[in-house]
Structure 1
Amino acid sequence: MSFKFFDTLSQDFSELLNDKKEYNVIIEVDKEENKKSFTSHSVVLRYRSTYFTKELENTATNENHVKTIIKPNISTQIFEIILKYIYCGVVNIENIETKIIYELMIVANELEFEELSEKLGSYLVESKASWLRTYFSHIYHSIFDNNIINSTESVQKEVAENSNKRQLDFDEPSTDCLHDTITPQSKKRKMTTNRCNEFKGLNRFYNDIITKHPNLIFEYEDFTSLQEAALISILEKDNLQLEEIEIWDYVIKWGIAQNPTLPKNLEEWSKENFKTLKTTLQQCLPLIRYFHISEKDIWEKLKPYRKILGTQLWDDLNQQLIFPNQPVKSLVLPARIISNPELPQRVNEQISTIINEEHVAEISSWIDRKSTIYSLTNVPYKLQLILRGSKVGFKPKTFWNMCNGHAGTIVVAKVAETDEILGGYNPLAWDNSKHRIFNTYMETNDSFIFSLKNGNIQNSILSRVKAKSRAHYYNYNDHHEIWGPCFGDLKFLFKYRSRGYDLTNEKICKCSSNSIYYEKPIRTREHFSILDYEVFKIVKK
């Protein structure tokens, strides 16, 4: 029988982390005004991370027997989390925004904490799929930038070695210059990539998206900065959902972008210019399925670049057009398997320009008074758009006309000049029939207002109604001022009689910093203006 005291052990190591007496390592992170130094112990670092083992071996000791490791690419916030993980084995991501969790995963991978990086990757795929899709192109780039750098260096070295061996004479090129090493190199490249790959879940997630929707990466404005290893991994896919001639066009575009000195006009290209492009693309060209490109496209798209293909391949393409049943010497790759998939839509693609799936899950849990937030796969409600200010206008009268009679709605607004998303839930019906000069208050115990985490706003705030008899204020009167939706302290309104104005005018909306009708304030400043607002009906799935 054994007694285990892991809690005590973790607490002791936590105290060791804060002990400044016997440290022998200083780790400097971040840069400029955010730069900060942390003290640590080499014995702990070495046993927790192979990365720090190597770093410490290559770092000199100063006169005080202390080694200094400098990591300006790691933020102070993230390294504090990493250091607690090193000493205590604890990482709390409950109130951390998704962007920071993603960056933490990248740093964990860099510092060779495989268990942590894989755990964070799995969490992002399972719980933050909408965020991952939103920032697809950026993250796909960074996965290769951070995760396959060793693989890329290996590929570049291999390219250099093969370039010395291969004949690059365009007049009489070797018949194997394109196709002799497709399968061996692909296998070798995949093996190298797999050795470096610790983001298994993320890679599966993105491989599935890139296979079904390659235009998400090819049409990305920064596509030509994609690493060669990343481009090759895409071209290798047999079920890449893109016509082969389009793939050819993107490959040529990428190759030319790597050589900005090439003439803009193809008619001005010299033999050396074509040689330069061919050298750049020699790992990509063998992955094109040339024999599955139409005759028209061969003559219009391939012929201008025939000098980079080699004599044998060009002859074989011509032979197939004339004698389609005769065998060719070049390797014929199978056609790609094309289907018609549908990309899973995220909320802001489908219906909202302000909130995402994570926000919907959070608001849904508040509606049902749940103590924990619904998972993205378990949200019981969907949103039905009633109006969007940027489409129908911002006049309060428009709100009352379009929302009249709708019950169980949320209003969300994007605040100007900040990352704030403010809003409120009204279980009652909006009613524009109350043509009264004096106040009309609506009573409910289920209404709430909120501020959603977004950008620099790290935590959402929920504030439930406490003065239920004044949960909402309805003011719609053709002979007096007209206000927009009002949730007690949160008022999308006019301070004065409106007529010619709308909700986007400067600082006409109000949210009291000293809450009277709701449990707590959701922002510190009272007056604000909005960029856009939306009203949704909450509908049971």
Structure 2
Amino acid sequence: MDDDTFFPKLSQNLLEILTNDNEYYDTIIEVGNDPYVKIFHAHTVILFYRSPYLRRILSTNKKKNDEILTHIKLPNISPEIFQIILRYIYGGRISLKEYDTLDIINILVATNELSLQELITHLQSYLIKNEKHWMEHNFNLIYQISFENDSFSKLQNFLLKWGIAQNPELPSDPSNYSKDDFNTLKNTLKKFIPIIKFYNLTSEEFLSKVFPYKKILPKELRNDLLKYFLDPGNQKKSKNIDLKIITNQHAELILKWIDKLEITDELDYPYEFELIFHGSRDGFSSRKFHEICDNKFHTITIIKVKDSNEILGGYNPVIWKSDESFGFTKDSFIFSFKDKNGIDNYILSRVIEGEYAIYNSIDFGPYFGFKDLYLCGEDFYDKSSCDSSDYEKPIRETNDKFSVEEYEIFQIMKNYIT
């Protein structure tokens, strides 16, 4: 008997466990954002082994002895989309024909957040095979999504090939391109170049996919990329960075601020980046922040402001604590970027004196100065703020409270061994 004979029954039984969710569940998943939030019941053992992302959450949010249920929050996924994915997690099946293309795109984005690599690959292949014309007519949307997510390499390749194919008169080999050929291709792709995460490519990918078309890139970007990819020492300076909110360009600029270098200067030593806190994974509460980040030094906080492209952040070289104290340092700073896709429009604000550079309290998340930048409130919703007090200048144009869509904290260390 073929081994596959038993799979349909197994899939059916596991889906029955999910359907009868009032029995034996030990995990509650809160999905979505106010005002539309839905509660799902699930089983830790299945989530743990089916989703690497949920496995990390479950590993860092272990139940106390007196707790019966584990609680997980997924604010970035809609309840409708999560329900589809949850059935896949349990049953190992998904029928895409019953969903429209935009739903499939949303499933793909959510699948990426949950690190379901098998499904990511399947969804990309399905879209390329069955929804080619839809994607061509919605090129801007697909391009934006695909290059914001490093896992969507198949879509990225498809879209780049499509862009080149819009000019059928071009030679198939870019080494035979004339100056006019490069200008033609440049005009086709120029509005998409700023959103491509070039620095997330490997050297091999850069040489095979980008280098042959280097003449369509802006001169400054082209020179920076050549310097970065052709000199192995440069790549070591930003290795081991698991970036979700910012790009490698943002990270390199922040490192230069730490070393008090000019933008045009080279970093003297490589840095090791370690992602120690991720809001969607670890939780949006001050207590969870202190549980994970207390006694950690040399940390960078990165904040994505809800309903905007604005990014805020700060560097704290001393340890975080929970004892209602101030941390003294003359090397901390806060910053903002107006646009998550660029590094040109930023504000850097260094601490003035240092006595009140950092505030430590169990009731607040990361807190710089006397309200210069701080996170607070239930789930950091609508109560976090920036004001100007102990740092050189305000990093926002308004003192209005803001909500946090996502935030990450990295611990950095200089690596003096090259």
TM-score between the two structures when normalised by the length of structure 1: 0.36
Q: In proportion to residue count, which structure has more strand?
A: 2
Which has the larger Rg? 1
TM-score between the two structures when normalised by the length of structure 2: 0.46
